[in-house]
Structure 1
Amino acid sequence: MVNVVRQDDGIAIVKINRPEAKNALNMQVRQELANIFKTLSFEHDIRSIVLTGNENCFVAGADVREFAHASSTEMYLRHTEYLWESISRCPKPVIAAVNGFALGGGCELAMHCDIIIAGDNARFGQPEVKLGLMPGAGGTQRLIRAVGKFQAMRMVLTGCFVSASEALQMGLVSEVVPASQTLDKAIQIATEIAAFSPLTVAQIKEIMLAGADLPLENALILERKAFQLLFDSHDQKEGAQAFLEKRTAHFKGH
């Protein structure tokens, strides 16, 4: 249900392939995603990851059939939060390539990524309220941090769908491209990032995410220490020397 293609340029493309259910997230898909991201996190040759669905649908939501009659205890014992963590804690940059629906768990999945490239046919939403539910994988918390209180409240309380252009205006996505170019654009960005020092990229991602919820002064201290730490790396010396010699740097990740 989830396929992985590892490219020679350090890019891994993770594709959710459950078209008969509009790529709905069932437990098998969640577990496969978790295992894949855990593995990719420790693969030295992989420097950035693209997560996508198909040309018509990213992920249309969770598979309702799996929880329609579940009890609170059953939902608790599934501990799906551990499955999500393997994505949110992945040290490699993750770029979502979103075409079609990214609803409910699909919108939450996209928000677990670091950059979201949306095709002009993309639609985002948190429609759980229509099922007598609320988002349970970050849809209330990541969304409000991404777009602010008033847009987040509108989306979560009404369950409305947001077009790609509106999502860009709100700050929910990074860029909108023609639907036929979504995956190519995401791979292009992943390739650009993969050419940089993986050590530096990992530090940037870690510090930006860790500092986002800290008081500014504490976050600046965190940033400064990480900045200083990089001066002990081979990649920093290589990057500086390559700049002075007007050549392309060759980063090794240490």
Structure 2
Amino acid sequence: MNFEYLLLNVEDYVGTIKVNRPEKRNAMNSESWIELRDAVNYFNQLNEVRVIVITGAGDQSFVSGADIEWLRERQPLDIYGSAVQDVLLCVYQSKKPVIAAINGYALGGGCELATVCDFRIASEHAKFGQPEITLGILPAGGGTQQLTKLIGLPRAKELILTGNIIDAQKAYEYGLINEVVPKEKLKDRVREFALNLTKKPPIALMLAKIALNESVTSDLNAGLALEKSLQAILFSTQDKIEGTTAFLEKRDAQFIGK
């Protein structure tokens, strides 16, 4: 597929989506958000991809937020058209694990994008924040909901109501990101992390992610019922036979996603 604002690459079962608007610090406009949704959907249908990585072009910005010129022109009912919230929900519900490789500013929609990924690995010079309040709006890409679930209500209020920007170390302390690595090691660490995931059984990864995502909003009984039903599905897969057989034979399992 061809995109105007994204660069796509597939290697060793890892599909990389790179936001490519360095002249705008990778700020997102309407078209780039739609392209992001389409790219995630495309990789979810591609057998050659087992893990998705999202990052930004250059070494200054992951995604610095929404393009302010585009944001200024948006009208009330535009929220119910091609909304950022819908795109980020698509990323959150991706069938395949998504890693955010955060190589710089992750502000506004960029912070929300990182939040909906399954894993967040950041360069030590990365910056995070939800500065929408300074523009007279709120983070409506799911930020008031997803960020709260990730780091708790007090920290979410701190970031959203003040608009403050924090560094990578503080983001790690808040639980916003999984790891902080030196700038020059980010690419290699993300690749190592992604390749490890590609060796896991794809169906089990997908169903475990569904159960985990639902655990945030479902009550215990509903969550346990879902867990049982998903486990029953996994008991029928070839990968379950391969995984248990490989363990008994003391060898590495070769999962095929069936």
Normalising by the residue count of structure 1, what TM-score does the alignment of the two structures yield?
A: 0.96
> What SS does structure 2 have at the residue aligned with 1:130?
helix
Q: Assess if the C-alpha contact under 8 Å between 2:27 and 2:67 holds in 1.
A: yes
What number of residue pairs does the alignment pair up?
Answer: 253
Q: Work out whether 1:109 is the aligned partner of 2:151.
A: no
The change in CA–CA distance for 1:203 and 1:75 in structure 2 (over 3 A counts) is closer
Q: Assess if the C-alpha contact under 8 Å between 2:111 and 2:129 holds in 1.
A: yes
Aligned to 1:43: 46
Letter in 2 for 1:2: L
Provide the aligned C-alpha RMSD in A. Answer: 1.3
Q: Work out whether 1:24 is the aligned partner of 2:35.
A: no
| Superposition misfits of 4+ residues, deviation over 4 angstroms | none
Q: Work out whether 1:2 is the aligned partner of 2:28.
A: no
Aligned to 2:175: 171
The change in CA–CA distance for 1:77 and 1:235 in structure 2 (over 3 A counts) is closer
CA distance in 1, matches of 2:85, 2:150: 20
Aligned to 2:15: 12
> What SS does structure 2 have at the residue aligned with 1:29?
helix
Aligned to 1:233: 237
Residues 139-176 of structure 1 deviation map (CA, whole Å, 9 limit, x = unaligned): 11111111111111010000001111111111100111
CA distance in 1, matches of 2:257, 2:16: 21
Q: Assess if the C-alpha contact under 8 Å between 2:149 and 2:216 holds in 1.
A: no
Unaligned segments of structure 1, at least 5 residues: none
The change in CA–CA distance for 1:5 and 1:147 in structure 2 (over 3 A counts) is same
Q: Assess if the C-alpha contact under 8 Å between 2:84 and 2:140 holds in 1.
A: no
Normalising by the residue count of structure 2, what TM-score does the alignment of the two structures yield?
A: 0.94
> What SS does structure 2 have at the residue aligned with 1:184?
helix
Residues 208-246 of structure 1 deviation map (CA, whole Å, 9 limit, x = unaligned): 112221112321221122123211110010011111111
The change in CA–CA distance for 1:78 and 1:250 in structure 2 (over 3 A counts) is closer
Q: Assess if the C-alpha contact under 8 Å between 2:10 and 2:48 holds in 1.
A: no
Aligned to 1:253: 257
CA distance in 1, matches of 2:242, 2:78: 53
Percent identity over the alignment? 36
> What SS does structure 1 have at the residue aligned with 2:73?
coil
Unaligned segments of structure 2, at least 5 residues: none
